[in-house]
A and B are shown apart, each in its own frame.
Chain A
Amino acid sequence: MLSYNALLEMFRQNSVGIPLITRKVVLYHTATKVAYIPPVTSLFAKIPILNLIVALLFWKPFFAVLFAPGLVCMLIALLPIIWFERKVTARVQWRYGPLEISRDIGGLIQPMADGMRYFFQEVITHREAHRPYFLQFPLLTFLPVLLPILVIPVGAIYAINTPYSIPAAIALISLIPMIIVAIGWASNSKYAYVGSLREAFMYFSYEIILIVAAMSMVILYGSANAIEIVREQSVVPGVILNPVAALVFFIAIIMATSRFPFEIPEADPEVVFGPFVEYTGIIFGLVMTIAYEKLYLLCLLFSILFLGGWNGPFIPPLGDLSPVLWLFLKTFALMMIFVFFRTFYGRYRLDQALKIGWSTLMGFAVVSLGISLGLGVINIAGWL
């Protein structure tokens, strides 16, 4: 039985260090007068229960899931990326995009207005739907979205440090399509049925190459632990070591997150948002963000595997948050590239996407595996 103090001590032992808020900050400094702001966390240090909550929040495993790279970072990335997507598309299309809602910041809060509108709209469950599942599955999506965070570390912040973090993350991410297929089944409508079939087919087309590309990097670095992998890339990032794997992984992400040109399961003119056709209101808001959440997760993985993860100049005041910042910036930049594809691509057909996945990309994936094996041999022989 853990005592209160032992629990508190356990949280404090393994807490996130951010000098900006856990150390004293010098505000005003002359030779005689020195003004400090006492650390914010120390305010609560003495108050029972509250100090436990604060300690829990800063406890690394909890912090990882809830703040970085978990839920909060995801939301911070999502709102601007949806706005950015609409803005950059509009820019390429010779127009402005969302603007008038807040002219000074270019309509940045437009996604929030849409969210508010969704929130207060009626939720319709149609007669044919499998009612309990129809409402449960959208909420269940948080499970496969947050589970991979457990094994994705950022610098020293991680929930579970495992030597199998990359395979585990990919395995957990691949739960998302199952939820989508289940959503399509629960909707019990023809278009939802066609849409979830498409989702299932797309899953087959990208999953193998995604795994092969990731594994080729694992072979190259000689470890499946994300922390090891990032350390290996301290000089040369993975994208230079094995560009083919990066390319394959990149395209697999497009397929996995149904971005253009592989936006096939939700194809609006063909199957009217496929699995999500019957959803209304805030539940639709939930299911529509699945693709963006998945994009965020896979971009995290891409940054870790190919872009040197959280490597970057250390910023002392941020402490443990400095790697978080670098990883977040890389991830966000990647997401911006992915959403840009909407501006100049249409969508492929399902059978074409399958063909691309199974022939061209599979070939590239095997080549990337070969490159990794070759580099690995050179590395072991000590020629590098």
Chain B
Amino acid sequence: MRDVNAENIEFLSSGAIAPVKKWGAKWSLWAVHLVTSCCGVELAHAYASGYDAERWGTLNFGMMRQTNLIIVEGTITKKMARALRITWEQMPDPKFVILIGACGIEGGLFWNSYHITRPWKIVPVDYFVPGCPPTPEGLISAIRALQKKIEKGEARTTVKFRETDLAELLGTEAGKERKPPKPPLKIAEKPEIKVEPKEVEWELGKQLVGKLKERIPYAEVFTTDVNRIYIKTDAKFYKKVAKALECEGFDHVKSINVIDVLHENKFIVECSVSSYSIKEFMPVIVTFAAEIDRCNPRIPSLIDVWLSADYQEREMHDFFGVWFEGNPNMGQKFLIAPEVETPLRKDFKLEEPSYVLEENK
């Protein structure tokens, strides 16, 4: 990859009118409106009344063609990466990039996520600002540093870190060899996924459970807590239970959830519903669950019972590959990038954290 940063600076500092070119670029760093993630909040603060970055001649502007600065605000996901690259390519030279937020640099909290990229591998970056999110001051100091870079032609980190010689400080004689302790993460080999009934003082719940037991005798109905009812059913009764609950007055879906139980080779599909139209049922969440085969995960869709289930079903289809029969949008990626396949299945492994600095780093 050619070094675009250096080319930009070279263009600005060449020729007889270099001072004018540099002056113009320095005092007119217009940032393109490319909100990529939550650091946008602090970007907005930097440009709003509290800090007013416009004082420095920089302006947040709508369209890529008329700007010369991208402020990458945090995470660039695999889906967003192409948008970032296209935006950058569409911008006229000379152009600059500032990257703010830990997510954008090495991932921050999301360092091992299946859906994020490292933006500095996609576009050439001039300055990096740490923080999650960084303060508006951090962003302004990056803009100041960029202005200085345009003027002087070389990038400089705004802060210095003096190195201390540890050998001098601590002495070199090796004490007792310290072995790194066991990492704290403890993930069970054969996890036990169970939901058990719990007796609670809840009058309405007892009535409701009784009523539901009558209506759906083929399913197991019990309370798990105050305001929580759990129904264990079978995949073939899944939709029947949904219809019965709709008749009871449960009118919207709170959550559709899939639990992957790898060692038992099954998916548990759960649907939690509640009610807005009946006042007593407002706090009640009824969850009904069915187990399906992990190899051919199919279950009827609920969108003709509750339309609010639509996007959540598509999401679960993305995450687990569960096929909701009857939902017209199956087979299409909705939330995640096309190249990621069923990331939330338990056999999709993420990078493990390490606690000791490797030598090559």
A binds B: yes
B residues contacting A by CB (< 8 A) are 12, 20-21, 23-28, 30, 48-49, 52, 54-57, 62-63, 65-66, 68, 90, 92-94
Whether a CB of chain B sits under 8 angstroms from the CB of A104 is: no
Whether a CB of chain B sits under 8 angstroms from the CB of A81 is: no
Is A113 touching B28 in the complex (CB atoms < 8 A)? yes
Stretch at the interface among A10-18, A69-77, A121-129, A290-298: A121-129
Which of B20, B28, B54, B68 sits near A95, CB closer than 8 Å? Answer: B54
What are 7 inter-chain pairs, A to B, with CB distance below 8 A? A95-B55, A110-B57, A113-B26, A117-B24, A120-B21, A272-B62, A277-B65
Which of B27, B48, B49, B54 sits near A113, CB closer than 8 Å? Answer: B27
A residues contacting B by CB (< 8 A) are 86, 90, 93-101, 107, 110, 113-124, 268-269, 272-273, 277-281, 284
Is B54 touching A86 in the complex (CB atoms < 8 A)? yes
Is A98 touching B55 in the complex (CB atoms < 8 A)? yes
Is B66 touching A97 in the complex (CB atoms < 8 A)? no
Which of A94, A101, A123, A273 sits near B92, CB closer than 8 Å? Answer: A123
Give Cα A97 to B94, complex, Å.
24
In order of increasing CB-CB distance, the 10 nearest A-B pairs are A116-B24, A117-B28, A122-B92, A113-B27, A95-B52, A117-B24, A268-B62, A94-B49, A99-B55, A95-B49
Task: Evaluate whether A116 and B23 lie within 8 angstroms (CB atoms) in the complex, with A272-B62, A284-B66 already known.
Answer: yes
Give Cα A249 to B142, complex, Å.
47
What would 14 more interface pairs be, CB under 8 Å, given A120-B20, A280-B66?
A: A90-B52, A95-B48, A95-B52, A97-B55, A100-B55, A100-B56, A101-B27, A116-B24, A116-B28, A117-B30, A124-B65, A268-B63, A273-B63, A281-B92
Give Cα A114 to B56, complex, Å.
12
Residue of B whose beta carbon sits closest to that of A93: B49
- Chain A residues closer than 8 Å to B54, beta-carbon distance: 86, 90, 95-98
- Chain B residues closer than 8 Å to A119, beta-carbon distance: 24
Cβ distance A190 to chain B, nearest Cβ, rounded Å: 14
A interface secondary structure, majority:
loop
Is A116 touching B21 in the complex (CB atoms < 8 A)? yes
Is B63 touching A122 in the complex (CB atoms < 8 A)? no
Task: Evaluate whether A113 and B63 lie within 8 angstroms (CB atoms) in the complex, with A94-B49, A99-B55, A124-B92 already known.
Answer: no
Residue of B whose beta carbon sits closest to that of A111: B28
Is A101 touching B57 in the complex (CB atoms < 8 A)? yes
Give Cα A209 to B57, complex, Å.
39
Give Cα A124 to B54, complex, Å.
26
- Chain A residues closer than 8 Å to B62, beta-carbon distance: 268-269, 272-273
- Chain A residues closer than 8 Å to B66, beta-carbon distance: 273, 279-280, 284
- Chain A residues closer than 8 Å to B94, beta-carbon distance: 120-122
Which of B55, B56, B68 sits near A117, CB closer than 8 Å? Answer: B68
Cβ distance A290 to chain B, nearest Cβ, rounded Å: 15
Is B65 touching A284 in the complex (CB atoms < 8 A)? yes
Residue of B whose beta carbon sits closest to that of A288: B66
- Chain A residues closer than 8 Å to B28, beta-carbon distance: 110, 113-114, 116-117
Residue of B whose beta carbon sits closest to that of A99: B55
Task: Evaluate whether A117 and B65 lie within 8 angstroms (CB atoms) in the complex, with A97-B55, A98-B55 already known.
Answer: no
Task: Evaluate whether A100 and B63 lie within 8 angstroms (CB atoms) in the complex, with A95-B49, A121-B92, A121-B94 already known.
Answer: no
Cβ distance A108 to chain B, nearest Cβ, rounded Å: 12
Cβ distance A68 to chain B, nearest Cβ, rounded Å: 28
Is B63 touching A124 in the complex (CB atoms < 8 A)? no
Is B63 touching A116 in the complex (CB atoms < 8 A)? no
Cβ distance A121 to chain B, nearest Cβ, rounded Å: 4
Give Cα A116 to B12, complex, Å.
12
Is A96 touching B63 in the complex (CB atoms < 8 A)? no
Is A110 touching B24 in the complex (CB atoms < 8 A)? no
Cβ distance B283 to chain A, nearest Cβ, rounded Å: 39
Give Cα A14 to B49, complex, Å.
54
Task: Evaluate whether A121 and B93 lie within 8 angstroms (CB atoms) in the complex, with A90-B52, A279-B66 already known.
Answer: yes
Give Cα A93 to B94, complex, Å.
31
- Taking each of B26, B62, B68, which has the highest tally of chain A beta carbons within 10 Å of its own beta carbon? B62
Give Cα A18 to B24, complex, Å.
37
Give Cα A90 to B63, complex, Å.
21
Give Cα A210 to B261, complex, Å.
73
Cβ distance A48 to chain B, nearest Cβ, rounded Å: 34
